[in-house]
Amino acid sequence: MFYRGLQKITSIKIPLDTGDFRLMDRQVVHELSRMNETDPFVRGMVSWVGFKQVDVEYERRERIAGYSKYPLTKMIRLAMDGVTSFSAVPLQLANWLGTFSILFSLGYLGFALFNQMDTAHFAVFSIFLMVGILLLSLGMIGSYLFRIFEASRKRPLYIVSKTTGFQDHPSPKTYYTTTLTKRANNY
């Protein structure tokens, strides 16, 4: 149920009902190791790098002895890592609630004015309006924080899986460094 919900709030498509056991190409492992995440959500990261994935179905047998060493608290932490690593929806929730609260307060103001507003109605209007403004402000701060968080992870903007015909040409990085060196010597 969690992975179906996660697919609804993220832009990546994490395969449903999969485990952490997988066979990966060396290039995929290299790209994953370059990501250097502090709290890695491997199931999402593997999908994020974008290489072709193939399902291998098997029938999982029931555990014969013992019990799972992965308690509910660890599962909840894993779920939170997945949501916070690949979705801004929880932060946008403050924007939605703030907008709803402001619209509700304005509707309530219209209702109260139509029915001769008294002090209690003005207090309700004021509270919902202020809560809405605070939630919108919090949502805007959250949006900026998510952008900073995205930039701090230093994930590559794109991953090149294969190049053709570039063997004889210097890489853009080398050319750029050479150009900067020449320009520095001219000044």
Q: What is the pLDDT of residues 116-137, one digit of tens each?
A: 777 777 888 889 899 999 999 9
What is residue 171's predicted lDDT score, i.e. its pLDDT?
Answer: 56
Domain identity same for 99 and 33: no
- Radius of gyration over alpha carbons of the chain, in Å? 26
Domain identity same for 2 and 83: yes
Mean pLDDT of 104-125: 83
CA atoms of 78 and 43, how far apart (whole Å): 10
Domain identity same for 16 and 82: yes
Q: Is residue 136 part of a domain?
A: yes
Domain identity same for 62 and 104: no
Domain identity same for 71 and 95: no
Q: Is residue 178 part of a domain?
A: no
Structural domain including 28 reads 1-87
For the ranges 5-19, 129-143, 167-181, the lowest mean pLDDT is seen at: 167-181
Domain identity same for 131 and 54: no
Tell me how many helices (H) and strands (E) the chain has: 7, 0
What is residue 179's predicted lDDT score, i.e. its pLDDT?
Answer: 41
The pTM of this model reads: 0.59
Q: Which two tokens stand for residue 64?
A: 């014969």
Mean pLDDT of 43-58: 82
The total number of structural domains that make up the chain: 2
Q: Is residue 180 part of a domain?
A: no
State the pLDDT confidence band at 182, using cuts at 50, 70 and 90: very low
What is residue 187's predicted lDDT score, i.e. its pLDDT?
Answer: 39
CA atoms of 55 and 138, how far apart (whole Å): 41
Start-to-end CA span in the chain (Å): 63
State the pLDDT confidence band at 151, using cuts at 50, 70 and 90: confident
Domain identity same for 6 and 82: yes
Domain identity same for 95 and 149: yes
Q: Is residue 98 part of a domain?
A: yes
Domain identity same for 55 and 105: no
Burial class (CB in 10 A: 0-12, 13-18, 19+), 125: buried
